[in-house]
Amino acid sequence: MQRRIVIAPDSFKGTASAAEVAAAIRRGWQRARSDDECVEVPMADGGEGTTAAIAGSVPGARVVVVTVEGPLGDPVDAELVELPDGTWVVELAETSGIALLERVDRDSCFRASTVGLGQAIRYATEHGARRVLVGLGSSASTDGGAGLLAGLGVRLLDGAGAVIPPGNGGLHALETLDVSGLAPLPVDGVVALTDVVNPLFGELGAASVFGPQKGASADDVPTLEAGLARFAEVLGGAPETSGDVAALTARPGAGAAGGTGFGVLAIGGEISAGAVAVADAIGLPSLVRGADLVITGEGSFDAQSEAGKVPSLVRALAEEEGARFGVIAGRVGLDAEQREALALAGVSILSLSELAGSGQRAMEETLHWVEVAGERMAQALEFQVAG
């Protein structure tokens, strides 16, 4: 009996893209059940790999390469995606990502900015974008999205009327904003995609939580926070600012990507659960319709995977359509009770680390073990059908 299998994994960060994982699951599956229809739908949650996932899943999507300023000002070529409905997708990791740095240290922490992200959004708008989706993740900076505004044409000035240096380090000298050069924004707005709910300030804020990942020491965190606070203060006092800036700093997701979420909110944009927005963009709900089994995957599957990440969304869609649900993960960080509860709910879970015998081996031969897991999951379905 032919079955319809929808394969919608996230990337296995650092080892394999979502498209590579989806293809490997299909290869493994079809070794065991060659007649089944396998639909590959690479997914993402707004972080690294979002543009690739959407470009690979939406018919008619066009990849556009744009040169922008990288996190430290050097030119980088960033891939943007234009969709047939006038939506463009921009990924922060492509323009201002930490992976674009040769090294991460205290200097890069204070100098890195999101100017390139603003330039990419401006390019998309000037080339007909009605809406821009911005994948937030893997940021090199903690500039609160100040660079984003600069890339859109806002001049950030010190007390002498000179443009401040980019990055958090320059924010401490910020006195005024000149928005006369602000480029037009997409008519249907800018939407930031993230699974992060951190506010801009405080113990859970951008500086405290994410600053150390970008080269900050414990002593640097208050300095980063002070730079963000100065930016928010000046922005809040600008006559052109609409809305309550203080309230924006507390919004869930404002602290995402070094505070870039706040920058998107400051220009009138929105923050959306990344997995939901990506699923809508690629039409995943309709693709799941009629599926017998929906398989997802990610590098580490644990209790947090149920909190707005790709696996939780894919599971919800599968359950809505009455389809069975399976997970293939690099590692499974669930205790015996949690795994038993999922098994009782009909969720199939396979760990590459367990199949390979070690996490190291699973990481070194990720796609091989993904194929093995796909075949094992197909064999389990075959057995259950036969039984």
Same domain, 114 and 21: no
Same domain, residue pair 311 and 229: no
Same domain, 271 and 301: no
The answer to the question of residue 251 being in a domain is: yes
Domain that holds residue 298: 4-43+283-386
Q: What are the pLDDT digits (tens) for 168-224?
A: 999 999 999 999 999 999 999 999 999 889 999 999 999 999 999 999 999 999 999
Same domain, 197 and 91: yes
Pair 182, 152: CB distance under 8 Å: yes
Domain boundary among 256, 275, 294: 275
Both 159 and 298 in one domain: the answer is: no
pLDDT, tens only, 110-120: 999 999 999 99
**Length in residues, the chain:** 387
pTM beyond cutoff 0.85: yes
Q: Is the domain of 109 the same as that of 205?
A: yes
Of 275, 291, 308, which marks where a domain is finished?
Answer: 275
Query: What is the side-by-side order of every strand in the sheet holding 324-333?
Result: 37-40, 4-7, 293-302, 324-333, 347-351
Summarize the confidence of residues 249-257 as an average pLDDT.
96
In whole angstroms, give the CA distance from residue 267 to residue 118: 11
* DSSP state letters, 150-194: HHTTPEEE-TTSPBPPSSHHHHTT--EEE-TTPPPPPTT-EEEEE
Task: Inform me whether the pLDDT recorded for 240 exceeds 90.
Answer: no
Q: Which of 213, 241, 275 is the last residue of a domain?
A: 275
Tens-place pLDDT, residues 280-296: 989 999 999 999 999 99
Q: For the chain, what percentages of helix, strand and coil (3-state, to nearest 5) are there?
A: 45, 20, 35
What 8-state DSSP symbol labels residue 97?
A: B
Do residues 210 and 321 share a domain?
no
Is residue 241 over pLDDT 80? no
pLDDT tens, 368-377?
Answer: 999 999 999 9
Is the domain of 237 the same as that of 102? Answer: yes
In a domain, 322, yes or no: yes
Residue 290 and residue 269 share a domain: no
- Which has more confidence, 318 or 47? 318
Looking at the structure of the chain, the number of domains it has is 2
Considering the domain architecture, whether residues 340 and 252 belong to the same structural domain is answered as no
Residues 106 and 210 placed together within one structural domain of the fold? yes
Task: Say whether 131 sits in a helix, a strand or coil.
Answer: strand
Residue 17: CATH number of its domain? 3.40.50.10350
Type of residue numbered 146 = A
